[in-house]
Structure 1
């Protein structure tokens, strides 16, 4: 292994100290943000760190040794809340700049951040972690396997130190940083072998409680929330008065009491943490009974609603400042399995939802082991670790579908029940896609960028394919234009210039055509011919009426249905008729067409 020269290391240490002194004059702020502008430390032609040794490996080791020397010297003499601690942030910015330009190893800045987090308390780590969050884009701009391993290691070590009960927000920041630092299809956080968290053991008193002193009951009664006492008093009043629902449910078996249900309920956690244990018939029967009894007890006990849910149910809206406390109060990192608290826990709606969501996850796992699901192509091609020899029977499948539907209906009750179940159902549906992707050995779903040469060739080929082609003159005219080739008396376009094509027909001409159609109808024998003549007569009648309405609208009352249009054009027989007097005598029929003299 190459060893850097001591003189080279001393020269690089002096160079880093010089750059840090200049950084204090450029960046006046003592906080993490804004980042140091490293280009302002040197002139245009001056390198940040000169290459002292021609061997690249020796040069990298010398820079790493010099950087650690400066880092530990400043870390041991300052505290993170001191203004002078900005020297550490400036040093990390300089090393990040050098790592991006291959002047030092890319993971050097992450190694120093890992050392920094290990040397600080949890409270100080919250401040130091902001450096990674603010420089995340610059850190992940250039990816390498060594850098990814350091990111995973330092985040996992930090998560081991944190308590999910006391530091849930900080844990969330670390997880978000991990999710944003790695691509979506990265396998680093995938459980490829499908191992279950069997180390998560829930301990409880697995024996039945024989007796309960009266004093203990009074003590538990006094310690219960006021909401439970009110709900139970209401339920006792209802029990005192039999109702129709009591008569309807008289045949249903009673639920287990709290002492009997206690070991049955907490034994469900064994199956939740290790689902393959249900492959044994005895364990599966116990799980069926436990889940059914638990759901029945949830429906029976009075509900305690969280403060935020109570406000929404009453029509109010909790303040935005209280949202954090509202969600934190519903967070259970580890269940309390004390027998004295069991009755109170079962009445908590948030606790009930946590248990039932666990049951939905396990039931979805069991439904992937049915005979129908195992015949799917992605299951046949799955890795061996994800294929199980157990197959869920038809009766057990029917039970699983039924209890899943019952849980879904129960989760939709209560405040925001519809929204809560929709959120849970969406998460579980998307998780099925991730399970399928994992069973298919995590095939990449991102494609490499198409080379520029291939893109240009495809583009030019598409342009040639859709290019307009020259139209060739047809050898003969289409049938619709055959009249243009007429060489008889009138040729070509002269037919289009006929005066009758531009003259509007008169109403009298349509009246004549109607009269001709009536004559043809009298001598027609075939039904098809009569139908065509009737259509022709109707069409001409309508056309004649439309034209006559412009100047003979006052004569429309003289028409008779089915008698043609001739009466529209007959002259008025008398002046009295012309005035429209209904009481005046009419002229004889044989003189209708004879005009009368005017007096």
Structure 2
């Protein structure tokens, strides 16, 4: 312990700073805590220990308040979540242990009820990217795995199915695909899952039909119920009955449907005896267990096949409510379970999963675990029966059967992947040194060498040598030679105007501009700028005919859709075109002559100097126009050709000033302001009209404060459009207390 450091004083100071930051909602900035931490004497290790303890004490106080209160205190839970969020940001700055947030989460979840655990787990779900970062992943992955497993033990898979699924999905997002901690690598079975049912016929309330019927005969149909017998009805409405109706001593109604059967002890025992095989499939490789399993399976198949569920009952649309039942083994419930669609599907799917294991190749299956040809044939026939039964089971039987088949086919790929030792899905490129050290049989064969010319034969001159010496060139065929010799100067041939097939701007946009004329009364949906094909060709043409088109766009226009963008461009071009513009698009003729009339037209600035009275109000356009014309004031060179822009360097130097009309902000200026704002962007965001939801979305999109600041400014520009000017930003900066930045930016 260093001299001057007091643990108690440090705890008191840090705890007070944490309370101030949490109360003022400074979870991200941690200003008070940072100032208190830096002002304390001592080593960083001692101060981090004190910081951990101070935050733990606050969480302990909140937990004690929750346990002491008899009512559900949601506010205290939200405050505990804010403290944990505060601990995450403190850990990012290195002022506490990286494992502290996970320790706090574990303590809170252990002390809360399941209802209050849901908002805490939502906090964990939303920060998967934070937990997967380098700073937290190593320190917290075991804590998170332990927390999730503890929650799964407390939750009921039948009543809290959605919550359990969210936990499984969170773990799948947290851990990489190559993580083997959740894999059953050795193909072990859950032998502890024992199904307890009545296996003693003498203690059964059901009638024992073993001596009355042979095993080959199906259950008795169209008989009247006797004493100690349960009738199975085809109507699914029998599921809703009282416990008094299950008393076997009372007779059922005498009127039964024609499709009814007696549920005896043999059927009950056959159904629940199968669960022992499903629990431990290795029993199928013994003769005695296999014969018993096959006999019980055939009984179940006969019952499901002979007794059909009433499809008419499932034709009515029912609300989609997912419920995964835990079926009980009571003898009084067996007739209701056979009327249940989910019970039938669960038993049949268990058969399919078992058959896939028995027929598949499993790495850790012993060599003696082999099926005979007779058993393999029986499994194939049984699979056909099962899929037929699934298709007949309402509702949507065919769709459900196809989905199960597809799911089992996909499972084969995962089994194959596990048999291969679970290789990583990320392939690493081998260095060249390993390829050289590889054995000869692994290396690729050497490349074939070209055959050398015969020395005795006279050597032929190459085309390059003939070209240098000025000899006639042979290109391989007379036609190619003729085409090559059409123009002796290849460079001049490439620059020929005959090779230019681009239409002029005036000829291409003339038809679209004519459609935009209000006199023609053309509906909006039929305008040329709404055609995707026209949009693509227009942008390509503008990029070739006028390079200033892309270089001189104001910041407000960067988020316009293409149709609106071209609409404004075409309005501007209509002012540049002469009054006798052609109606159809013109293509450069074959002789290469291009109409230069547009290039000879004096610029608009010269027209104003000559005395033309131009109404500024007309140039600004109407309020309902998509793009303001003042955004195109620097677009006078749209019709100019590339040849008119020889002074490239001088134009680039003043590009920023020339392309931003008035007080508009360019993209470069927005980036510069964002770099100087930094973490102060949250103070500026509300003054720019952004609400708390917008700020939360910006905070969640990126961890970089500069990117957050730039996204804030861009969102402001996108919403305010033409009102997003320099004076408005300077005013907002001044209100936020950033006078220096406001003066610096206002002066520019």
User: TM-score w.r.t. structure 2 length?
Assistant: 0.49
Q: Structure 2: which 5+ runs fail to align?
A: 208-224, 241-251, 432-461, 483-748
Alignment of 1:151-550 (within 5 A): 151-208=144-201, 209=204, 212=207, 217=229, 225-226=237-238, 233-235=256-258, 258-303=264-309, 310=313, 313-314=315-316, 317-318=317-318, 322-324=319-321, 327-328=322-323, 331-333=324-326, 335-368=327-360, 373=361, 382=363, 385-413=364-392, 414-447=394-427, 472=464, 476=474, 478-481=476-479
Q: Do the aligned partners of 1:437 and 1:443 also contact (CA within 8 Å) in 2?
A: yes
Q: Do the aligned partners of 2:230 and 2:264 also contact (CA within 8 Å) in 1?
A: no
Cα deviation code 1:181-200 (max 9, x no counterpart): 22223212111221111111
Select which of 19, 27, 39 maps to 2:29.
39
CA distance in 2, matches of 1:66, 1:391: 63
Please report how far the alpha carbon of residue 130 of structure 1 lies from its aligned counterpart in structure 2 after TM superposition: 2.3
1:94 counterpart = 2:86: yes
1:69 counterpart = 2:69: no
Please report how far the alpha carbon of residue 400 of structure 1 lies from its aligned counterpart in structure 2 after TM superposition: 1.1
Cα deviation code 1:105-147 (max 9, x no counterpart): 2221111111111111222222332221233332333353331
CA distance in 2, matches of 1:263, 1:387: 30
Q: Report the 3-state secondary structure (helix = DSSP H, G, I; strand = E; otherwise coil) of the residue aligned with 2:425.
A: coil
Relative to structure 1, is the Cα distance of residues 105 and 90 closer, same or farther in structure 2, using a 3 angstrom cutoff? same
Cα deviation code 1:399-438 (max 9, x no counterpart): 1111112111221223311211122122222222222222
Aligned to 1:106: 98
User: TM-score w.r.t. structure 1 length?
Assistant: 0.60
CA distance in 2, matches of 1:483, 1:151: 75
Q: Do the aligned partners of 1:356 and 1:407 also contact (CA within 8 Å) in 2?
A: yes
Q: Do the aligned partners of 2:63 and 2:111 also contact (CA within 8 Å) in 1?
A: no
Please report how far the alpha carbon of residue 358 of structure 1 lies from its aligned counterpart in structure 2 after TM superposition: 0.6
Relative to structure 1, is the Cα distance of residues 290 and 220 closer, same or farther in structure 2, using a 3 angstrom cutoff? closer
1:11 counterpart = 2:10: yes
Max radius of gyration: which structure? Answer: 1
Q: Do the aligned partners of 1:12 and 1:49 also contact (CA within 8 Å) in 2?
A: no
Relative to structure 1, is the Cα distance of residues 129 and 388 closer, same or farther in structure 2, using a 3 angstrom cutoff? farther
Please report how far the alpha carbon of residue 271 of structure 1 lies from its aligned counterpart in structure 2 after TM superposition: 0.8
Q: Do the aligned partners of 1:20 and 1:87 also contact (CA within 8 Å) in 2?
A: no
Select which of 113, 128, 137 maps to 1:121.
113
Cα deviation code 1:520-547 (max 9, x no counterpart): xxxxxxxxxxxxxxxxxxxxxxxxxxxx
Aligned to 2:23: 24
Q: Do the aligned partners of 2:278 and 2:350 also contact (CA within 8 Å) in 1?
A: yes
Q: Do the aligned partners of 2:473 and 2:481 also contact (CA within 8 Å) in 1?
A: no
CA distance in 1, matches of 2:198, 2:49: 58
CA distance in 1, matches of 2:426, 2:28: 35
Q: Do the aligned partners of 1:99 and 1:105 also contact (CA within 8 Å) in 2?
A: yes
Relative to structure 1, is the Cα distance of residues 481 and 412 closer, same or farther in structure 2, using a 3 angstrom cutoff? same
CA distance in 1, matches of 2:254, 2:88: 61
Cα deviation code 1:264-319 (max 9, x no counterpart): 221110011111121211111211121121111111124266xxx945x24xx44x
Q: Report the 3-state secondary structure (helix = DSSP H, G, I; strand = E; otherwise coil) of the residue aligned with 1:76.
A: helix
CA distance in 1, matches of 2:262, 2:273: 15
CA distance in 2, matches of 1:18, 1:263: 68
Q: Do the aligned partners of 1:74 and 1:88 also contact (CA within 8 Å) in 2?
A: yes
Q: Structure 1: which 5+ runs fail to align?
A: 28-35, 240-254, 374-378, 452-469, 485-599
Please report how far the alpha carbon of residue 476 of structure 1 lies from its aligned counterpart in structure 2 after TM superposition: 3.9
CA distance in 1, matches of 2:84, 2:161: 28
Aligned to 1:520: none
Relative to structure 1, is the Cα distance of residues 150 and 424 closer, same or farther in structure 2, using a 3 angstrom cutoff? same
Please report how far the alpha carbon of residue 361 of structure 1 lies from its aligned counterpart in structure 2 after TM superposition: 0.2
Aligned to 1:507: none
Aligned to 1:534: none
Q: Do the aligned partners of 2:263 and 2:335 also contact (CA within 8 Å) in 1?
A: no
Relative to structure 1, is the Cα distance of residues 94 and 408 closer, same or farther in structure 2, using a 3 angstrom cutoff? same
Please report how far the alpha carbon of residue 256 of structure 1 lies from its aligned counterpart in structure 2 after TM superposition: 9.5
Aligned to 1:580: none
Q: Do the aligned partners of 2:281 and 2:354 also contact (CA within 8 Å) in 1?
A: yes
Highest RCO, 1 vs 2 (Cα 8 Å, sep ≥ 6): 1
Aligned to 2:638: none
Aligned to 2:127: 135
CA distance in 1, matches of 2:54, 2:424: 41
CA distance in 2, matches of 1:50, 1:407: 71
Q: Do the aligned partners of 1:140 and 1:181 also contact (CA within 8 Å) in 2?
A: yes
CA distance in 2, matches of 1:258, 1:207: 13
CA distance in 2, matches of 1:190, 1:393: 30
Q: Do the aligned partners of 2:103 and 2:143 also contact (CA within 8 Å) in 1?
A: yes
Please report how far the alpha carbon of residue 5 of structure 1 lies from its aligned counterpart in structure 2 after TM superposition: 10
CA distance in 1, matches of 2:350, 2:253: 30
CA distance in 1, matches of 2:255, 2:93: 70
Relative to structure 1, is the Cα distance of residues 211 and 278 closer, same or farther in structure 2, using a 3 angstrom cutoff? closer
CA distance in 1, matches of 2:140, 2:463: 63
Q: Do the aligned partners of 1:159 and 1:171 also contact (CA within 8 Å) in 2?
A: yes
Q: Do the aligned partners of 1:19 and 1:41 also contact (CA within 8 Å) in 2?
A: no
Q: Do the aligned partners of 2:81 and 2:120 also contact (CA within 8 Å) in 1?
A: no
